Structure 1
Amino acid sequence: MDKALYIAMTGAAQNMLSQRGHANNLANVNTTGFKADWMQARAMPVFGDYYPSRVYAMTERPATNYDQGSMIQTGRALDVAVAGEGWIAVQAPDGTEAYTREGELQIDVNGILRTGSGLPVLGNGGPVAIPPAAKVEIGGDGTISVVALGEEVQEIAEIDRIKLVNPPAEQLTKGEDGLVRIKPDAETAGQPVPPDAFVKLESGYLESSNVNAVEEMTEILSLSRQFELQVKVMRAADQNTEAAARLLQIS
């Protein structure tokens, strides 16, 4: 059977993988603090007992776009956006430390400060716990201040500080859960990232996704056309095989 059939099949499969990546970006166009993944295709020569005149196409995710999204003013006291570079430290479902820019914070029934997706926000000594309060404020440096129930507005107490970090971008990787972590092969892997005092928050704002919906839709349409071309190549290779079989039968 002609190897072109396998090459076209591989190309179609890789097109589908790339479409999944762009579709995921597009699906999170309205997700607070979401960072888009870059997708690219790489040519892989086919080696064997013949001249490597054909290549496979391999889809891969080379990196994540960490550019800042636009700032959306909400006026809500528990909404925060990282101004510039930096991350908010959270506790991942497996108990490890991870990082996000999702600043739509909320307080659960137990007083634990959580992100909009339910992850505990880390402070100086673990997850931030907020006592019953009439008012909660988050400062630009992550300081959390409250006015206790029954107290005067002037009696503000500082209870904790959100852990804000800013590790080098080349040491970061984004997982399938959307959280950012230190790469396993980085020098600081397995060690907690120290807080960075230069990371600042904007209270009353949220950071939008940095996904460009028009670009993602254009890429999806382009990949759909490429998929159709791969299917046509598979059909042509199958037809060539059938024609060759008929010639052999005649001979």
Structure 2
Amino acid sequence: MDRLIYTAMTAMNAAMDRQRVTANNLANASTPGFRQEIFAVTPATLRDGSLEARAPARGNVRGAAMRAGRVVPTGNALDVALEGSALIAFQSPDRQGVVYSRRGDLRVGATGVLENGEGLAVLGETGTPITVPPGFILNIAADGTVLASDPAAGNAPPEPIGRIRLVNPEGSPLAKGIDGFLKVPTNAGGTGVLPPDLTARLTPGALEMSNVETADTLVQMIEAQRAFEQRARIIATAGELDESGSTLMALR
């Protein structure tokens, strides 16, 4: 009986994790550049020489769906929509590594660093955050070059202050961690760095929206809830069988 309960319990945990991932996808249905998380459940059969009756379920985020989202013109000079499969390199929140995203709602932060809507610093080709001189007006070219013009300089042409580090992930493994960021895993357990792609292009004045399909995600949420309820009923049934067995033993 303990085998049945333990197996059902692991399946309940996997169903709960699936609900969390689905809820996160649904919450980010309107987040620019968000990539839908893909959840997978795999059985882990216990082999000890006896009957293989136990197969605990293990669920985790397998990766992200990289299909393109809808591109919406915004007219904002700092909004950028990436073309093809290109990604923008950002400084990780702990400032110890590099993460990748297609979120292009850029802005100048309080410290003068170019960042996106999540507050992640945009990295330049040298691997360091792009810093904007105070009061300068920015424009971004199709190749990722950041152009800054000084309003006090009159009609002086804008000057480049850096180039956004655009990368192409094709041919490289991408993983989406529990923090929601795309990374390049390494054999040592850390994260790798993709080289710049000088041919990558972006569209200024536009944003690529999330690729989450709201209707499909709602269906997935209902399926995850039903799966959890089914596992709960199995545990309840196991309890009833155990009580019935104890009653029969008492009658002997």
User: TM above 0.5, one fold?
Assistant: yes
TM-score (norm 2): 0.90
Instruction: Kindly state the Cα deviation for residue 70 of structure 1 after the two structures are TM-superposed.
Output: 1.0
Instruction: Kindly state the Cα deviation for residue 178 of structure 1 after the two structures are TM-superposed.
Output: 2.2
Q: State the match for 1:42 in structure 2.
A: 42
1:39-78 equivalent positions in 2, closer than 5 A? 39-48=39-48, 50-78=50-78
TM-score (norm 1): 0.90
The amino acid of 1:12's aligned partner reads M
**Distance across 2 between alignment mates of 1:110 and 1:54:** 55
**Distance across 2 between alignment mates of 1:66 and 1:193:** 17
The amino acid of 2:24's aligned partner reads N
Which range is displaced more, 124-133 or 113-122?
124-133
**Distance across 2 between alignment mates of 1:37 and 1:169:** 20
**Distance across 2 between alignment mates of 1:162 and 1:195:** 9
Other structure's SS at 2:75 match = coil
Q: State the match for 1:89 in structure 2.
A: 89
> Are the equivalent residues in 2 in contact too, given 1:104–1:115 (CA < 8 A)?
yes
Any unmatched runs of 5+ in structure 1? none
Q: State the match for 1:175 in structure 2.
A: 177
| Equivalent residue pairs, number | 249
Deviations 1:170-200 (A, max 9, x none): 42212222222211229xx766432111111
Other structure's SS at 2:153 match = coil
Which range is displaced more, 4-13 or 137-146?
4-13
Instruction: Kindly state the Cα deviation for residue 164 of structure 1 after the two structures are TM-superposed.
Output: 0.8
Any unmatched runs of 5+ in structure 2? none
Q: State the match for 2:99 in structure 1.
A: 98
> Are the equivalent residues in 2 in contact too, given 1:90–1:121 (CA < 8 A)?
yes
> Are the equivalent residues in 2 in contact too, given 1:133–1:146 (CA < 8 A)?
no
**Distance across 2 between alignment mates of 1:250 and 1:211:** 58
Pair 1:145–1:30, CA change in 2 (3 A): same
Q: State the match for 2:28 in structure 1.
A: 28
Which range is displaced more, 56-65 or 220-229?
56-65
Q: State the match for 1:202 in structure 2.
A: 203
Other structure's SS at 2:124 match = coil
How large is the Cα RMSD of the aligned pairs?
2.1
> Are the equivalent residues in 2 in contact too, given 1:147–1:153 (CA < 8 A)?
no
Pair 1:45–1:63, CA change in 2 (3 A): same
Percent identical among aligned pairs is 33
The amino acid of 1:249's aligned partner reads A
Q: State the match for 1:161 in structure 2.
A: 163
